[in-house]
């Protein structure tokens, strides 16, 4: 069963890892409904 | 082509500003005044001597080379440097008491009050400083009674200035209700203004320039000065230039989160290349807000709180002298609005595209400077080794381009990367701290092409989710062609010799 | 985790119901990814934010985990994430986040 399709997805990216918007592109490609995107910055 | 004619780098040890004004601490005090963190924090602050002997700080002012840092065992806080010195070829590490004096010197609106005895003691120390002339020392007026200062802090919301927990002065608010002129903001802005003076003075010496030679100043620190009608109105640049006696300069402020300084250098170089100005100073002062930013993690892991340094720099971007390293404006790497935010899109735009335009492989670039954060600060906070991650990304680009094999990533990182040594002051680590090293390596013939990379987290301003980045190629100066100068090669040599002699004399005078 | 983000996640969970939400992480370090995963499953381990003592039990994945990666359009993943697999400590990221999910997801 699909994990993402049709789900509400919350994304927490990392400036020095994978940033939020890049993950959002992936999630959208899996048919998820992205409801919140943010990116953390430790520096 | 515009050249990097000189550099200045200085640090200020500021544990009391960290304790009282760093945003991690002020937030905690508001939300959770009884917190364990605040109770433990004082025991994790470093003395000036300890901060002075901390190897990354000595690298910052040029007393220790990059290669030497590589050989000093980590943790660096357990490996104090034996020959630690306050002064280095790029600048100095100033203690906090003297810095309070400098804040008073930078105060143009009588907002700063220092206690009388403290003020006199600091004045005596600063009067011996090699770059602070009488005109500046005179601004350190007689101090006030402690009771009066205490009253300002207790009753009128002034921000206290402390040494070892003892109140020695304060910064008053500049307006009754305007948050942009509150005591807290005025302190942050005065820290930025005052700290900018240090690298600027060292810069003038290393570049062999006189204050009157500077045509324009671009300031690129973290803060914004203004009032409620124009929050980021500016202009730190002229405020700093005024104090430093740059009487022939105008200026303005440039911001872009941590990428700000590279934007500033690009603009400075463009102004020089276009012939609008001959000498443009780029200056960035320290950030009080970021002091102790990751302090909770440092205290939790029983480490010293290492973010106790205000970082500053100043650069002179000048017309081509046929000698100093050049800034290549024909191949600027930039993160465009349409570039995308994934690391490979960002790094392709910043690194691979400019290299390709120069017909260079990534491995042809001797050194990269991208986000030079000291890993000893970021690793305990869960942010990893930021410079190393950047170098791995560049190496990964080289793998994708078929330039190296996947198994050679670490070798590439070792050969082209640098060890992070900069304090996590936002704009400070972003490429710029290694420009002095680049300049030295290129002038000594040990490197030919280096790349400076700035990256900025624009999303922190909550106006866009976009990322930002900018890169500049710094190259060995090919020398002036006779047509560009109207004079012969020998005459150029003669001019360089004279310039070096002048510089040596300036240094002696200093 | 940032306190504003904790508040936002709590609010969204109340709005949509935890069973309808999947959380995706992009953290660079196993330790910080683990803390983020812990925050949205068993609660904020630093006890500083709105999720202190609140067990949302969200399904949480790191974006490089094979089972989540398999759901993306491979071309999009290639363009957005693939290079970082050469940079990040993928094995430990996967292990840490998967552990939190097994322990705390409802």
Whether B497 has a pLDDT exceeding 80, the answer reads: no
Burial (CB count <10 Å: 0-12, 13-18, 19+), residue C19: exposed
Torsion, CA B29, CA B32, CA B37, CA B43, rounded to 10: 40
Domain count, chain A: 1
- Give a yes or no: residue B444 inside a domain: yes
State the DSSP string of B361-429: -GGGS-EEEE--B-HHHHGGGT---HHHHHHHHHHHHHHHTTSS-GGGHHHHHHHH-----B---TTTT
Residue B312: pLDDT band by 50, 70, 90 thresholds? very high
pLDDT score, position B503: 73
Query: Residue C80's closest chain B neighbor by CA?
Result: B342
Query: pLDDT by residue (tens digit) across B447-472?
Result: 999 999 999 999 899 999 899 999 99
C31 part of contact set with chain B, CB < 8 Å: yes
pLDDT above 70 coverage of chain B, percent: 97
Contact A16 B341 (CB under 8 A): no
Local mean pLDDT, 10-residue blocks, chain C (106 residues): 92 96 96 94 91 95 97 96 95 96 89
Q: How many angstroms separate the CA atoms of B175 and B219, rounded?
A: 25
When scoring B457, B464, B466 by the number of chain A Cβ atoms within 10 A, the one with the most, hence best to mutate, is: B457
Helix (H) or strand (E) holding B146: helix B146-156
Q: Do B342 and C48 touch (CB under 8 A)?
A: no
Residue C35, chain B, CB below 8 Å: the answer is: yes
Q: Is the pLDDT of residue B499 over 80?
A: no
Our CA-based measurement puts residue A5 at a distance from the nearest CA of chain B, in whole angstroms, of: 22
Distance from CA of C34 to the nearest CA of B (A): 10
What's the full length of chain B, in residues? 510
Nearest CB to B384 within list C28, C46, C81: C28
- Residue B464 inside a domain? The answer is yes
Instruction: Decide if B397 is inside a domain.
Output: yes
Contact residues for B276 (Cβ-Cβ < 8 A; gap 6+): none
Q: How many residues does chain C have?
A: 106
Tens-place pLDDT, residues A12-42: 999 889 999 999 999 999 999 999 999 988 7
Q: What is the pLDDT of residue B480?
A: 84
Contact assessment for residue B6 and residue B279, using Cβ atoms and an 8 Å cutoff: no
Residue B504 confidence (pLDDT) above 80: no
Flag whether residue C84 sits within 8 Å of chain B, measured between CB atoms.
Answer: yes
Q: A10 and C24 in contact by Cβ < 8 A?
A: yes
Closest CA to B308 of B9, B10, B66, B11: B11
- Residues C22-58: b if buried by 16+ CB within 10 A, e if exposed: bbbbbbbbbbbbbbbbbbbbbbbebebbbbeebebbb
Asked whether the CA dihedral B43, B48, B49, B53 is positive or negative, the reply is positive
Question: How many cross-chain Cβ pairs, B to C, lie less than 8 Å apart?
Answer: 47
Task: Note whether B344 contacts C: Cβ–Cβ < 8 A.
Answer: yes
Best residue in A1, A2, A3, A11 to probe C by mutation, most C CBs within 10 Å? A3
Domain ranges, residue A19:
8-40
Contact B343, B393 (CB under 8 A): yes
Q: Is residue A30 within 8 angstroms of chain C, CB to CB?
A: yes
- Is 80 exceeded by the pLDDT of residue B496? no
For B110, phi then psi, to 5°, come to: 50, 45
Task: Tell me if C5 and A38 make a contact (CB, 8 A cut-off).
Answer: yes
Would the pLDDT of B510 be above 60? no
User: Pick from C31, C81, C86: which is nearest to B382 by CB?
Assistant: C31
CATH number at residue B470: 3.40.47
Write down the mean pLDDT value for chain B.
95
Neighbours of chain C (3+ CB pairs under 8 A): A, B
Total tally of structural domains belonging to chain B: 1
* A10 contacts C26? CB cut-off 8 A: no
- Is the CB of B343 less than 8 angstroms away from the CB of C84? yes
| Closest residue, chain C, to B24 (C-alpha) | C2
In a domain, residue B396? The reply is yes
- CB contact (8 A) between residue C29 and residue B382: yes
Cβ contact B344–C82 (<8 Å): yes
Backbone angles phi, psi at B363, to 5 degrees: -70, -10
Helical packing angle, B96-105 and B116-127, nearest 10°: 90
- Classify residue B389 as left (phi > 0), alpha (psi -120 to 50) or beta: alpha
Q: Say if residue C11 is preceded by a cis peptide, omega within 30 of 0.
A: no
Q: Does some domain include residue B49?
A: no
Tell me, yes or no, if C7 comes closer than 8 A to chain A by beta carbon: no
Residue A32 falls within a domain, yes or no? yes
* Domain assignment of residue B405, given as a range: 326-484
Q: Which residue of C has its CA nearest to B340?
A: C80
Residue in chain C nearest B28 by alpha carbon: C48
Look at residue C83 and give its three-state secondary structure: helix
DSSP β-ladder status, B309-318 and B279-284: antiparallel
pLDDT at B508: 62
Q: Which chain A residue's Cα is nearest to C64?
A: A18
pLDDT at B221 over 90: yes
Q: Which of C75, A26, C84, A13 is nearest to B400 (CA)?
A: C84
Residue B213 lies in a domain: no
Q: What is the mean pLDDT of residues B315-320?
A: 98
CB B15 within 8 Å of CB B283 = no
Tell me the mean pLDDT in the region B144-163.
97
Contact B342 C32 (CB under 8 A): no
């Amino acid at each position: 069963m699909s994990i993402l399709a049709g789900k509400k997805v919350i994304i927490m990216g990392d400036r020095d890892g994978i940033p939020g918007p890049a993950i959002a592109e992936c999630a959208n490609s899996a048919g998820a409904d992205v409801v919140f995107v943010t990116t953390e910055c430790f520096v | 082509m515009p050249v990097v004619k000189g550099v200045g780098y200085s640090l200020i040890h500021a544990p009391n500003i960290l304790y009282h004004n760093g945003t991690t601490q002020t937030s905690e005090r508001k939300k959770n005044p009884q917190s364990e963190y605040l109770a433990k924090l004082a025991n994790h602050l470093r003395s000036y001597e300890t901060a002075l002997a901390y190897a990354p700080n000595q690298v910052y002012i040029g007393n220790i080379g990059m290669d030497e840092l590589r050989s000093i065992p980590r943790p660096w806080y357990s490996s104090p440097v034996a020959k630690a010195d306050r002064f280095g070829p790029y600048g100095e590490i100033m203690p906090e008491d003297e810095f309070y004096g400098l804040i008073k010197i930078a105060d143009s609106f009588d907002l700063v009050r220092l206690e009388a005895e403290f003020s006199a003691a600091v004045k005596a120390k600063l009067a011996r400083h090699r770059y602070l002339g009488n005109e500046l020392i005179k601004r350190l007026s007689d101090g006030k009674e402690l009771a009066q200062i205490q009253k300002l802090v207790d009753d009128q919301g002034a921000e206290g200035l402390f040494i070892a927990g003892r109140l020695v002065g304060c910064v008053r608010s500049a307006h009754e209700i305007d948050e942009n002129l509150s005591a807290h903001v005025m302190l942050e802005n005065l820290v930025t203004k005052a700290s900018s003076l240090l690298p600027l003075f060292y810069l003038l010496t290393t570049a062999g320039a006189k204050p009157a030679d500077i045509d324009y100043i671009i300031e690129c620190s973290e803060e914004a000065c203004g009032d409620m009608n124009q929050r980021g109105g500016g202009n730190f640049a002229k405020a700093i230039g005024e104090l430093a006696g740059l009487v022939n300069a105008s200026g303005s402020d440039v911001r872009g989160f941590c990428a700000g300084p590279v934007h500033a250098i690009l603009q400075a170089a463009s102004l020089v290349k276009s012939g609008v100005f001959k000498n443009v100073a780029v200056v960035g002062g320290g950030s009080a807000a970021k002091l102790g930013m990751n302090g909770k993690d440092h205290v939790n892991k029983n480490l010293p709180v290492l973010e106790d340094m205000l970082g500053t720099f100043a650069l002179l971007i000048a017309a081509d002298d046929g000698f100093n390293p050049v800034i290549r404006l024909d191949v600027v790497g930039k993160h465009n609005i349409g570039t995308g935010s994934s690391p490979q899109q960002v790094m392709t735009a910043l690194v691979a595209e400019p290299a390709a335009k120069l017909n260079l492989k990534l491995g042809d670039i001797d050194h990269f400077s991208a986000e030079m954060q000291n890993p000893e600060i970021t690793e305990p906070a869960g942010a990893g080794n930021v410079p190393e991650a950047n170098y791995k990304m560049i190496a990964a680009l080289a793998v994708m381009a078929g330039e190296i094999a996947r198994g050679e990533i670490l070798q590439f990182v070792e050969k082209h990367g640098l060890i992070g040594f900069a304090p996590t002051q936002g704009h400070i680590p972003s490429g710029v701290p290694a420009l002095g090293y680049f300049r030295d390596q290129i002038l000594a013939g040990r490197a030919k092409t280096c790349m400076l990379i700035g990256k900025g987290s624009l999303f922190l301003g909550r106006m866009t989710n976009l990322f930002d980045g900018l890169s500049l190629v710094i190259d060995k100066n090919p020398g002036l062609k006779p047509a560009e100068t109207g004079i012969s090669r020998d005459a150029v040599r003669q001019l360089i010799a004279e310039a070096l002699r002048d510089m040596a004399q300036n240094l002696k005078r200093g | 985790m940032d306190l504003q983000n904790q508040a936002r996640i709590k609010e969204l969970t109340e709005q949509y119901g935890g069973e309808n939400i999947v959380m995706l992480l992009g953290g660079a370090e196993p330790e910080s990814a683990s803390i983020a995963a812990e925050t949205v499953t068993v609660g904020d381990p630093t006890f500083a934010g709105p999720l202190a003592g609140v067990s949302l039990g969200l399904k949480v994945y790191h974006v490089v985990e094979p089972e989540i990666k398999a759901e993306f359009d491979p071309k999009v993943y290639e363009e957005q994430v693939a290079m970082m697999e050469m940079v990040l400590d993928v094995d430990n990221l996967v292990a840490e986040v998967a552990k939190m999910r097994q322990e705390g997801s409802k």
